[in-house]
Amino acid sequence: MRVLVTGGAGFIGSHFVRRLVAGGDSVVVLDKLTYAGNPANLEGIEHEFVHGDIADPVAVATATAGCAAIVNFAAETHVDRSILGPMEFVHTDVLGTMCLLEAARETDARFVQVSTDEVYGDLEAGGRAQEGDPLRPSSPYSAAKAGGDLQVLAYVRTYGVHASITRGANTYGPNQYPEKLVPLFTTNAMEGEPLPVYGDGKQVREWLHAEDHCAGIELVLREGAPGEVYNVGGEDHENIEITHRILELTGADPSLVRHVEDRAGHDRRYALDDSKLRALGWQPQHSFGEGGLPATVDWYRDNRSWWEPIKSGAYRAYYDEQYANRLKA
């Protein structure tokens, strides 16, 4: 099958491209190469590349030509950046998604929207979000993703587009841009920089390896039903527990841990009921604590040439805006 993978130069998208190509599919990547897009993530993987914006109908028409399916990973993805500047999130995560849906409508391509557990919002202790639950997004990022999801469901019902949605948990693994918890804290620990824990650090997230996440998305691409949503869950851990595990794995000094001003609107807990995807045959292969996190830390240790150049220039400006005052306080 010829598949369009948007956002294929990013973290999870590049794992997905590798997976499809290894399985014999041919892949076209459409990517704007924002700060988070990195051609190095696709090195050595055979693919066609279209440099463009998913919100640009001309770029989308070029990229979709001859494709039987579109899998949409392209998004602005970082909650903290959405708090600093939300507009770009609506451009890509809502309007961009709609532009791709228009292409799917025209070409009859199968469509998979890669969404997030954050659309369900904060969960009470003990509860797990199911696919039919109401959407209660808290951040400009999760609100934009929820907007994209609702458009997908509207295009299924109104125009008969063959589209499904996956809602994945916090994903970790090699090639993740060092702004998110695991790669930020791992690379900071390796550089002897502070690890800025928001608030008390007792927030709970589910952790899902990128390869397991991609296996779930591929299953939905092949076997998912139109109009259906599939949660892709992970393992629950508190942020502070992960922070201490990263210190252990890197051998960094525990005094690097700094409790700083909390993220605005910070959700306390996410948890997914993923039994629907498991019923299709999905099962995660990576355990976070046992193998997944140690192997990821090893990857960052062995691939300094991948992340060191990123942590300068525009990254530094973002980092200072986000953390300088927090770390001074």
Active site residue 302: no
Task: Determine contact, residues 105/159, Cβ cutoff 8 Å.
Answer: yes
151 near ligand NAD, rule: CB under 6 A: no
**Least distance in Å: CB of 22 to ligand DAU?**
25
Q: How far apart are CA 76 and CA 93, in angstroms?
A: 7
Nearer CB in complex with ligand NAD: 34/296: 34
Rounded Cα gap, residues 129 and 275, in angstroms: 11
* Cβ closest to ligand DAU, residue 59 vs residue 129: 129
Is residue 274 close enough to count as binding ligand NAD by CB under 6 A? Answer: no
Answer for which of 17, 31, 165, 195 binds ligand NAD (CB under 6 A) is 31
Does 292 bind ligand NAD (CB under 6 A)? Our answer is no
Q: Which residue, 170, 116, 114, is CA-closest to 296?
A: 170
How far from chain centre, in Å, is Cα 309? 22
Give burial (CB, 10 Å; 0-12/13-18/19+) of 109.
buried
- CA 259, 260, 261, 266 dihedral sign is negative
State the DSSP H helix or E strand holding residue 257, giving kind and residue range, or none if neither. strand 257-260
User: Binding of ligand NAD at residue 53 (CB under 6 A)?
Assistant: yes
Point out the residue whose Cβ comes nearest to ligand DAU. Answer: 116
Give the one entry of ligand DAU, ligand NAD, none that residue 73 binds, where binding means its C-beta sits below a cut-off of 5 to 8 angstroms depending on kind: ligand NAD
Closest CA to 96 of 77, 81, 83: 77
In this chain, which stretch among 2-10, 35-43, 73-81, 91-99 interacts with ligand DAU, using CB under 6 A? Answer: 73-81
Q: Of these partners, ligand DAU, ligand NAD, none, which one is at the site of residue 47 (CB under 5 to 8 Å by kind)?
A: none
One-letter amino acid of 210: A
Interface with ligand DAU in residues 181-210 (CB under 6 A): 181, 184, 196-198, 203, 205
Q: Among 77, 97, 107, 151, which residue sits at the site for ligand NAD (rule: CB under 6 A)?
A: 77
Figure out which of the listed residues 41, 138, 164, 170 binds ligand DAU, where binding follows CB under 6 A: 170
* Binding partner of residue 207 among ligand NAD, ligand DAU, none, CB cut-off 5 to 8 Å per kind: none
- Annotation marks residue 141 as catalytic: yes
CB 286 within 8 A of CB 212: yes
Sequence-ordered list of residues with C-beta below 8 angstroms from that of 327, at least 6 positions apart, any chain: 194, 196, 258, 260
300 binds ligand DAU (CB under 6 A): no
Catalytic site residue 117? yes
How distant, in Å, are the alpha carbons of 90, 152, 271 from that of 121?
A: 18, 19, 10
Of 7-26, binders to ligand NAD (CB under 6 A) are 7, 9-13
CB of 59 to ligand DAU, least distance (A): 23
- Least Cα distance to 250 among 308, 293, 283 occurs for 293
- Burial call 212-225: b when 16+ CB within 10 Å, e when fewer: bbbbbbbbbbeebe
Residues forming the active site: 117-118, 141
Site residues for ligand NAD per CB under 6 A: 6-7, 9-13, 30-34, 36-37, 53-55, 73-77, 92, 96, 114, 116, 145, 168, 170-171, 177
Site residues for ligand DAU per CB under 6 A: 77-79, 116-118, 169-170, 180-181, 184, 196-198, 203, 205, 239, 263, 270
